[in-house]
Amino acid sequence: MQDSQPESGLDALAAALSARIGYRLFTVLVLDRQAGLSRRFYSSEPDAYPTDGAKPIRTDSDFYAQVVELGRPRICADRSACKAAFPDHERIFALDCESAVNVPVRWDGQTIASLNLLHQAGWYREAMFSELGWYAALAIPVIQKIIHTAR
């Protein structure tokens, strides 16, 4: 039997998030602190956001402060918030996305990845944080597989 992880785990996570929370774009970024990069390992829209993408970790960003350091989800509720938060906002808007929630995946007191869901303006609410936290917890074994395979 061939090992289909992490792909099958990420596909199952995406299906559950689509059914319960909803998104137009879903990505998983894994933090590579040694390289100073966030690496994309999953994308529901691989043409726009390929899975081989990476971007520098910006320690001066709200994302870093809230999601990485504090381990709290962050909502960008509308177009203006997305424009301020994301340098690639035009590509995001081209997918009809005008809101986002970034959910930390934590292990041993540190953020190791983020689940990033984007949708129409106003879609995400703080009332979703509890359920999103469960999905982040379920993602831990898959993220650990990615981290250990990448070494």
Given a contact cutoff of 8 angstroms between Cβ atoms, the answer to whether 67 and 20 are in contact is no
| pLDDT recorded at residue 53 | 87
Domain count, the chain: 1
Q: Is residue 1, in this structure, part of any structural domain at all?
A: no
What number is the average pLDDT over the span 109-121?
A: 98
Q: Is 28 helix (H, G, I), strand (E, B) or coil?
A: strand
Residue 75: give its domain's CATH number.
3.30.450.40
What percent of the chain is modeled with pLDDT above 90?
Answer: 93
Q: Is residue 93, in this structure, part of any structural domain at all?
A: yes
Q: Is residue 120, in this structure, part of any structural domain at all?
A: yes
What is this structure's pTM? 0.95
Question: Whole-angstrom Cα distance, residue 120 to residue 140?
Answer: 27
Q: Tell me: the pLDDT tens digits for 74-113?
A: 999 999 999 999 999 999 999 999 999 999 999 999 999 9
Q: Is residue 67, in this structure, part of any structural domain at all?
A: yes
For β-strands 74-76 and 37-43, DSSP reports them as unpaired
Per DSSP, 127 falls in state G
Per the structure, the complete domain to which residue 130 belongs is given by 6-150
Q: Tell me: the pLDDT tens digits for 10-54?
A: 999 999 999 999 999 999 999 999 999 999 999 999 999 999 889
